[in-house]
């Protein structure tokens, strides 16, 4: 009976629908705002360099996310293929994050270190030179394009304003850092930075003996 009242009264139905949707939204969004996991860098995660930030811009500009995700789910087959599942804290330097969902090509969340810079360069110029069956487009022009003065520092300042924890000192020399680099260099630096932030447990340095501390600390 009450339900019939709502169904027959379009105004009431609209108001109650809006209330239901807002409630659903609040329940999903509000906890994330206070979730430290999503706003604190994963331990060991290095701050993105200006060149990597510039490379990420190229990645977005060229629409790489239309074919590649950057998020490894917790499913066994994903972890076996790509490596440990992605953590929210790995994406704190990404606004917007590049998780994506479309995988025409493989996930790239752990692509860093898998190939040499030279392999990636050849692959971007013409993917079929190194992967004959590839249907990924080539991006040869990235070798010739540079960044405008002020472009990368401006981008980093804007990202800082929306909460990305960049250092002012790094922003100050951002344009100088990318001045002699091509967009190809930047894209490659960005991809090589996409890797697990800390060494896997098996490789971790065993608890240092007393006196060995200084040595352990200086290990790169
Ligand atoms: C039309 C879809 C498409 C687009 C757009 C695309 N890719 Fe790909 N990509 C693929 C496919 C398919 C593969 C697998 C075949 C290969 O290795 O070439 C691939 C492979 C790769 C690989 C090697 C991954 C691995 O694990 O072997 C990298 C790195 C890569 N793409 C980066 C990029 C970047 C960066 C861009 C944007 C500049 C981009 N791709 C744009 C489809 C695409």
67 CA distance to ligand 1 centroid (A)? 7
Ligand 1 atom closest to 123 (CA): 18
Distance 11 CA to ligand 1 centre (A): 50
The CA distance from 52 to 30, in Å, is: 31
CB neighbours of residue 78 within 10 Å: 18
* Cβ neighbours around 44 below 10 Å, total: 9
Q: In whole angstroms, what is the distance from residue 67 CA to residue 214 CA? A: 46
Written as tens digits, the pLDDT of the chain (220 aa) is 788 999 899 999 999 999 999 999 999 888 877 777 777 888 888 889 999 999 999 999 999 999 999 999 999 999 999 999 998 888 888 888 899 989 999 999 999 999 999 999 999 999 999 999 999 999 999 999 999 999 999 999 999 998 888 999 999 999 999 999 999 999 999 999 998 876 544 444 444 444 444 444 443 4
Predicted local confidence at residue 82, as pLDDT:
93
Distance of CA 37 to the CA centre of its chain: 15
Supply 113's token pair: 């270190």
Ligand 1 atom with minimal separation from the 111 CA: 26
Contacts of 96 (CB under 8 A, 6+ apart): none
Pocket of ligand 1 from Cβ distances under 6 Å: 59, 62-64, 66-68, 104-106, 108, 111, 127, 131, 134-137, 139, 187, 191
CA–CA separation, 97 vs 108, rounded Å?
A: 13
Which residues, other chains included, contact 210 with Cβ-Cβ below 8 Å and sequence gap of 6+?
A: none
CA of 39 to the centre of ligand 1 (A): 29
Q: What is the pLDDT of residue 34?
A: 77
Q: What is the pLDDT of residue 38?
A: 74
Question: Could you tell me if 63 and 101 are in contact, meaning their C-beta atoms sit under 8 angstroms apart?
Answer: no
Q: How far is the CA of 105 from the centre of ligand 1 (A)?
A: 5
Nearest 5°: the CA angle 155, 157, 158 is 65
100 sits in the region (left: phi over 0; alpha: psi -120 to 50; else beta) called left
Question: Could you tell me the distance, in angstroms and rounded to a whole number, from the CA of residue 35 to the centre of ligand 1?
Answer: 33
- CA pair distance 57, 186, nearest whole angstrom: 9
Phi-psi region at 184: left, alpha or beta (left = phi > 0; alpha = psi -120 to 50) = alpha
Residue nearest to atom 41 of ligand 1 (CA): 64
Residue ID of nearest Cα to ligand 1 atom 37? 64
Q: Which of 54, 67, 114 has most ligand 1 atoms within 8 Å of CB, for mutation?
A: 67
Query: Does residue 122 contact residue 134 with C-beta atoms inside 8 Å?
Result: no
For residue 154, the CA-to-ligand 1 centroid distance in Å is: 28
Q: How far is the CA of 80 from the centre of ligand 1 (A)?
A: 20
């Amino acid at each position: 009976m009450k339900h019939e009242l709502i169904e027959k009264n379009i105004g009431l139905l609209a108001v109650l629908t809006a209330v239901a949707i807002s409630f659903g939204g609040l329940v999903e969004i509000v906890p994330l705002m206070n979730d430290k996991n999503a706003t604190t860098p994963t331990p060991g995660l290095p701050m993105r360099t200006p060149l990597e930030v510039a490379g990420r811009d190229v990645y977005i500009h060229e629409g790489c996310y239309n074919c590649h995700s950057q998020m490894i789910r917790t499913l066994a087959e994903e972890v076996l293929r790509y490596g440990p599942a992605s953590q929210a804290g790995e994406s704190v330097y990404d606004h917007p994050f590049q998780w994506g969902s479309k995988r025409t090509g493989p996930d790239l969340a752990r692509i860093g270190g898998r190939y040499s810079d030279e392999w990636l360069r050849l692959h971007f110029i013409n993917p079929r030179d190194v992967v004959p069956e590839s249907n990924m487009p080539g991006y040869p022009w990235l070798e010739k394009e540079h960044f405008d003065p002020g472009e990368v520092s401006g981008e980093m300042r804007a990202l800082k304003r929306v909460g990305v924890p960049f250092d002012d000192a790094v922003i100050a020399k951002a344009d100088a850092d990318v001045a002699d680099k091509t967009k190809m260099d930047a894209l490659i630096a960005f991809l090589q930075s996409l890797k697990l932030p800390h060494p896997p447990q098996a490789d971790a340095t065993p608890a240092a003996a007393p006196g060995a501390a200084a040595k352990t600390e200086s290990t790169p």
